[in-house]
């Protein structure tokens, strides 16, 4: 079982550039979550999809952030334009099957915006 896959693992970009983070959830899981981790705020939920439909995007910081889930095996989180304060580790997690209350996290993408 491959687990949740995220790419890239590290991203360094300049302010104003577009950034796209990618996630492949565990096969068979029907819920997908995007989180952001910073020193100041800890782990925060950005957006939650269920059966590929966005259910709760109240954690998305502002319009510069957008997320899509075109099918059950792929999701993207896009930041356009990026700013230095977006620097953080972004985690994708999925949930489903018999362990319905537990979320399984990917390894994260460390984003640095210069």
Partner 1 sequence: DQQVKQNSPSLSVQEGRISILNCDYTNSMFDYFLWYKKYPAEGPTFLISISSIKDKNEDGRFTVFLNKSAKHLSLHIVPSQPGDSAVYFCAASARNSGGSNYKLTFGKGTLLTVNP
Binding site for partner 1 (CB under 8 A): 4, 31, 33, 42-45, 48, 50, 55-56, 91, 93, 95, 99, 101-108
* Cβ nearer to partner 1, comparing 15 with 43: 43
Q: Is there a contact between 50 and 100 (Cβ–Cβ < 8 Å)?
A: no
* Cβ nearer to partner 1, comparing 85 with 100: 100
CA-CA distance, 86 to 38, in Å (whole number)? 9
* Cβ nearer to partner 1, comparing 74 with 105: 105
CA-CA distance, 13 to 83, in Å (whole number)? 9
Least distance to partner 1, CB of residue 102, Å? 4
Least distance to partner 1, CB of residue 52, Å? 15
Least distance to partner 1, CB of residue 8, Å? 13
Least distance to partner 1, CB of residue 42, Å? 4
**What are the distances in angstroms from CA 107 to CA 7, 25, 38, 93?**
9, 12, 15, 9
Element at 70 (helix H, strand E) = strand 65-71
| Diameter of the chain measured on Cα atoms | 42
* Cβ nearer to partner 1, comparing 80 with 99: 99
């Amino acid at each position: 079982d491959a687990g949740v896959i995220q790419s890239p693992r590290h991203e360094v970009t300049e302010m104003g550039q577009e950034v796209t983070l990618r996630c492949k959830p565990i096969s068979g899981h029907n819920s997908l979550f995007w989180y952001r981790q910073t020193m100041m705020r800890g782990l925060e939920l950005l957006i939650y999809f269920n059966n590929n439909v966005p259910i709760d995007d109240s954690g998305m910081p502002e319009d510069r952030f957008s997320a899509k889930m075109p099918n059950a095996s792929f999701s993207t989180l896009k930041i356009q334009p990026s700013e230095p304060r977006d620097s953080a580790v972004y985690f994708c997690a999925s949930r489903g099957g018999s362990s319905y209350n537990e979320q399984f996290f990917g390894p994260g993408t460390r984003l640095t915006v210069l």
